[in-house]
């Protein structure tokens, strides 16, 4: 890993064995982009990659100049990285190179989540200072390159060195000019209960973007996009990833201009955003995480998985095996008392489950979703001994105990709202819009964050609590804070999320032993910002195994398996009414942080025995399921959409588990093969099937031994027509591979 600076060519080259990022100071002082991609040799200039002489405005009006951090107003009509309203009301910026410095390591961003380093020599950071002499604005661009990752992390700090306030209207975390537009934009889009569906569409002239204006990253679009060549598959081809460690309003956008080049940018959504920068003040953007893959989407995902798992997630749970949970939500909803919960926990414990999670409804007068958010005192009618007694009883069974909270919310019918109506987001002269019968607290107010820290610390400190599910069940309407001056209302939604981060930071530091899981009606805020505090997230309220194939496939494009919480629930499924075999439900939920969300006391003896086996199987292979390399084999979004397959492989290639899901049964399908990836071609693997089949085609009911070369080149024989005849829909089969 090096950060090379050539004073003659005025060129920067950030390089490791997997990636190069190159840019230079143009003749007129602007910062011009040259290259991002597979590593190029050091010690050479690449200035010729961008032909032409870039000084004077005419070039800016003509051919597109690739720039590092473009601004508008002086001939570059593409989407800007930065826009600032200056004291004279103008918005023209002319940012020229002033100086630069390189440091070992990586700085933190004040108030914002970020990736980090832990050992010396892991990463280096370059800070390039650009200045506009007339406007007295400085922009400090930060670039971090890790030694062993195909990743460049970017961000910017904007400093007002003038005497009067200026208004930041747009401040992207990164902008990247690419020399062509032969790309497809992949985004993860959807809605509640169908998050992270993969959309892939060729770029065309003009702007194409995904974004949020909801105050949270949202179910609709994830703050993560990929540019892939049309020929790029999971296993091969070029791709560029653009992630953002941010949980509020974001944009991720590509613009193809008339010469066919592409500008890609991501950052805080400028729609509705502004930030007043007083004299001497500075504004930091969230960080953008750029990755390059020459080896397909698998390799791109792998780079993100490792970075997010190892250097974004933090705390005592980062590297630990995550427990198998039983959550009472779909088992009881709001209707429970202590005996009922203990019966669930006892039955779960008998099946080997490790942690009991008490979901919504344990506090205030909360017997439905119309009341009590904000009143974080236990409901003594339901739980006469309080959380402490329940938690101790659960611990006495030999399980850990966790609870659900929704700190950012308040119900109109609550003591908190009666006491502090002004702590609720809204425009004083207008009615507030309710969502799920609740309002959102004004997290931009320090006293609200302080209050929540106080009451939640009392809850978490008052009982042996090992796990917290932090929910957020509505997005923001009427964004306004009476606590902010008129001219700062454009800052509100960013200040809101800074308040959320601050509360997360304080609680995770005060309770370092607790495993936090984030949730926002499922995957409504599943993003890299949240993962810095809560290392796992509830991927979707949709627990149907078949729906989950798509959700987990899409989520895995960016996020590691040990961040994706996935539970087995009862049938008919509560979201879609589908009836799937118990084995299939487990075979999907295994690929993530596994758990159950059903009433085990309502199961038959046969079902309990099956779950006991599932739990034992997951424990045996937990490391592989949570931290193996994930390879997507057959997409539920492609072809006839009636099958899916994926696998996880240990880093040393000695063990792997592949899964094949047959969504709809096919009549007389003929022999089917599935080619695996990531194995050791020279190794022999003992292959066994889970669950043990009554009969099987290519792989017998008892294990057989196959070569890694064969499994990858010829494939695994899945099933024969005879075997699939009459077998029904929604089948799953796992193949466990152990090198011998
Ligand atoms: C949200 C969550 C669910 C559950 C409920 C409780 O919908 O996503 O898992 O916790 O809230 O109200």
H/E stretch holding 460 reads: helix 446-461
Nearest CA to ligand 1 atom 6: 360
Catalytic residue among 298, 359, 360, 541: 541
H/E stretch holding 308 reads: helix 296-311
Q: Ligand 1 centroid to 362 CA: how many Å?
A: 13
Q: Ligand 1 centroid to 46 CA: how many Å?
A: 53
Which atom of ligand 1 sits closest to the CA of residue 520? 8
What pLDDT was estimated at residue 567?
98
Q: How far apart are CA 646 and CA 677, in angstroms?
A: 10
- What phi and psi, each to the nearest 5 degrees, are found at residue 300? -65, -50
Q: Ligand 1 centroid to 565 CA: how many Å?
A: 13
| Residue 422 annotated among the catalytic residues of the structure | no
DSSP string, 271-288: TT--EEE-TT-EEEPPPE
Choosing from 191, 329, 363 the residue with most ligand 1 atoms within 8 A of its CB, the one to mutate for a pocket test is: 329
Place of tokens 């699939």: 724
Q: How far apart are CA 569 and CA 579, in angstroms?
A: 11
Choosing from 216, 518, 519, 596 the residue with most ligand 1 atoms within 8 A of its CB, the one to mutate for a pocket test is: 519
Nearest CA to ligand 1 atom 7: 521
> What is the three-class DSSP state of 707?
strand
Which atom of ligand 1 sits closest to the CA of residue 469? 10
Q: Which two tokens stand for residue 707?
A: 């070569």
Q: How far apart are CA 335 and CA 663, in angstroms?
A: 34
Cβ-in-10-Å burial (0-12, 13-18, 19+) of 673 comes to exposed
| Residue 544 annotated among the catalytic residues of the structure | no
Which atom of ligand 1 sits closest to the CA of residue 404? 10
Choosing from 471, 520, 523 the residue with most ligand 1 atoms within 8 A of its CB, the one to mutate for a pocket test is: 471
What pLDDT was estimated at residue 73?
86
Nearest CA to ligand 1 atom 12: 360
Q: Ligand 1 centroid to 298 CA: how many Å?
A: 31
Q: Ligand 1 centroid to 470 CA: how many Å?
A: 10
Q: How far apart are CA 401 and CA 387, in angstroms?
A: 10
What pLDDT was estimated at residue 611?
98
Residue 234 contacts residue 676 (beta carbons within 8 Å): no
Which atom of ligand 1 sits closest to the CA of residue 369? 12
Nearest CA to ligand 1 atom 9: 541
Beta-carbon count within 10 A of 336 CB = 20
Q: Which two tokens stand for residue 263?
A: 């500008």
Residue 101 contacts residue 127 (beta carbons within 8 Å): yes
Place of tokens 């910017």: 156
Catalytic residue among 471, 527, 542, 544: 471
Place of tokens 């758990």: 595
Nearest to 226 by CA among 291, 176, 172: 291
Structure letter (DSSP) for residue 109? B
Which atom of ligand 1 sits closest to the CA of residue 597? 9
Residues lining ligand 1, judged by CB closer than 6 Å?
329, 359-360, 404, 471, 473, 519, 521-522, 538, 541
Structure letter (DSSP) for residue 456? H
Q: Ligand 1 centroid to 359 CA: how many Å?
A: 8
Q: Ligand 1 centroid to 522 CA: how many Å?
A: 7
Q: Ligand 1 centroid to 380 CA: how many Å?
A: 22
Residue 718 contacts residue 673 (beta carbons within 8 Å): yes
What pLDDT was estimated at residue 56?
43
Q: Ligand 1 centroid to 648 CA: how many Å?
A: 29
Residue 106 contacts residue 153 (beta carbons within 8 Å): yes
> What is the three-class DSSP state of 215?
coil
Q: Ligand 1 centroid to 360 CA: how many Å?
A: 7
Residue 303 contacts residue 296 (beta carbons within 8 Å): no
Beta-carbon count within 10 A of 652 CB = 8
Q: Ligand 1 centroid to 405 CA: how many Å?
A: 10
Q: How far apart are CA 515 and CA 534, in angstroms?
A: 7
Nearest to 250 by CA among 334, 172, 148: 172
Nearest CA to ligand 1 atom 11: 521
Q: Ligand 1 centroid to 329 CA: how many Å?
A: 7
Place of tokens 């119309």: 370
Choosing from 360, 366, 468, 598 the residue with most ligand 1 atoms within 8 A of its CB, the one to mutate for a pocket test is: 360
Q: How far apart are CA 45 and CA 111, in angstroms?
A: 38
What pLDDT was estimated at residue 287?
98
List, run by run, the mean pLDDT of 10-residue segments along the chain (740 residues): 97 98 94 97 95 50 84 90 97 97 98 97 98 96 98 98 98 98 98 98 98 98 98 98 98 95 98 98 98 98 98 98 98 98 98 98 98 98 98 98 98 98 96 97 98 98 98 98 97 98 98 98 98 98 98 98 98 98 98 98 98 98 98 96 96 98 90 94 96 60 87 91 83 96
Choosing from 334, 358, 359, 517 the residue with most ligand 1 atoms within 8 A of its CB, the one to mutate for a pocket test is: 359
693-715 core/surface letters (b: 16 or more CB in 10 A; e: else): eeebbbbeeebeebbbebbbeee
Which atom of ligand 1 sits closest to the CA of residue 541? 8
Which atom of ligand 1 sits closest to the CA of residue 519? 8
């Amino acid at each position: 890993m090096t950060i090379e600076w050539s004073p003659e060519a005025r060129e920067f080259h950030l390089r490791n064995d997997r990636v190069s990022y190159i840019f230079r100071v143009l003749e007129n002082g602007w910062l011009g982009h040259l290259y991002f991609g597979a590593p190029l040799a050091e010690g050479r200039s690449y200035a010729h990659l961008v032909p032409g002489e870039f000084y004077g405005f005419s070039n800016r009006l003509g051919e597109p100049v690739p720039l590092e951090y473009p601004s508008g107003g002086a001939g570059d009509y593409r989407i800007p990285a930065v826009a600032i309203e200056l004291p004279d009301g103008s918005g023209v910026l002319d940012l020229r190179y002033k100086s630069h410095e390189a440091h070992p390591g990586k700085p933190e961003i004040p108030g914002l989540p970020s990736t980090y380093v832990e050992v010396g020599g892991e990463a280096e950071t370059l800070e390039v200072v650009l200045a506009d002499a007339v406007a007295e604005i400085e922009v400090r661009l930060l670039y971090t390159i890790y030694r062993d990752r195909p990743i460049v992390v970017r961000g910017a700090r904007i400093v007002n060195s003038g005497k009067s306030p200026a208004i930041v209207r747009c401040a992207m975390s990164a902008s990247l000019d690419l020399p062509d537009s032969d790309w497809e934009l992949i985004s993860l889009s959807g809605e509640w209960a169908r998050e992270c569906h993969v959309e892939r569409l060729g770029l065309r002239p003009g702007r194409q973007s995904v974004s949020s204006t909801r105050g949270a990253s949202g179910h609709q679009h994830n703050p993560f996009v990929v540019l892939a060549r049309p020929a790029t598959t999971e296993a091969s081809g070029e791709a560029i990833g653009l992630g953002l460690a941010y949980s509020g309003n974001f944009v991720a956008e590509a613009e193809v201009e008339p010469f066919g080049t592409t500008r890609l940018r991501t950052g805080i959504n400028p729609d509705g955003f502004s930030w007043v920068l007083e004299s001497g003040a500075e504004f930091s953007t969230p960080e953008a995480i750029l990755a390059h893959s020459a080896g397909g989407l698998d390799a791109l995902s792998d780079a993100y998985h490792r970075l997010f798992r190892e250097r974004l997630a933090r705390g005592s749970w980062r590297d630990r095996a995550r427990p198998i949970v039983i959550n009472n939500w779909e088992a009881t909803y709001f209707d429970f008392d202590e005996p009922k919960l203990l019966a669930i926990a006892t039955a779960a414990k008998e099946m080997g489950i490790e942690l009991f999670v008490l979901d919504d409804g344990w506090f205030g007068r909360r017997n439905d979703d119309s009341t009590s958010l904000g009143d974080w005192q236990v409901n003594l009618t339901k739980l006469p001994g309080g959380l402490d007694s329940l938690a101790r009883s659960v611990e006495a069974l030999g399980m850990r105990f966790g609870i659900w909270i929704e700190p950012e919310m308040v119900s109109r019918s609550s003591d908190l709202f009666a006491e502090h109506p002004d702590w609720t987001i809204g425009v004083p002269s207008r009615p507030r819009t309710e969502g799920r019968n609740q309002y959102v607290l004004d997290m931009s107010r320090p006293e609200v964050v302080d209050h929540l820290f106080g009451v939640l610390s009392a809850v978490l400190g008052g009982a042996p609590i090992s796990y917290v599910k932090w929910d957020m069940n509505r997005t923001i309407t009427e964004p306004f804070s009476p606590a902010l001056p008129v001219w700062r209302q454009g800052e509100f939604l960013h200040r809101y999320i800074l308040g959320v981060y601050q509360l997360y930071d304080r609680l995770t530091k005060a309770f370092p032993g607790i495993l936090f899981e984030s949730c926002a009606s499922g995957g409504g805020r599943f993003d890299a910002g949240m993962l810095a505090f809560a290392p796992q997230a509830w991927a979707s309220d949709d627990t149907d195994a078949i729906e989950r194939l798509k959700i987990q496939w899409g989520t895995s494009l960016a996020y590691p398996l040990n961040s994706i919480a996935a539970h087995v629930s009862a049938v008919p499924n509560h979201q879609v009414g589908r009836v799937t075999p118990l084995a299939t439900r487990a075979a999907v939920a295994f690929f993530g942080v596994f758990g159950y969300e059903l009433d085990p006391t309502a199961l038959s003896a046969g079902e309990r025995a099956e779950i006991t086996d599932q739990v034992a199987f997951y424990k045996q292979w937990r490391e592989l399921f949570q931290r193996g390399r994930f390879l997507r084999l057959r997409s539920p979004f492609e072809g006839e959409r009636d099958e899916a397959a994926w696998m996880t492989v240990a880093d040393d290639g000695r063990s792997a588990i592949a899964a094949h899901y047959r969504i709809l049964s096919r009549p007389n399908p003929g022999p089917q093969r599935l080619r695996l990836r990531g194995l050791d071609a020279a190794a022999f693997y003992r292959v066994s099937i889970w669950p043990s089949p009554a009969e099987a085609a290519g792989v017998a009911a008892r294990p057989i031994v196959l070569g890694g070369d064969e499994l990858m080149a010829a494939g695994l024989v899945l099933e024969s027509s005879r075997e699939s005849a009459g077998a029904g829909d929604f089948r799953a089969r796992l193949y466990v591979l152990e090198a011998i």
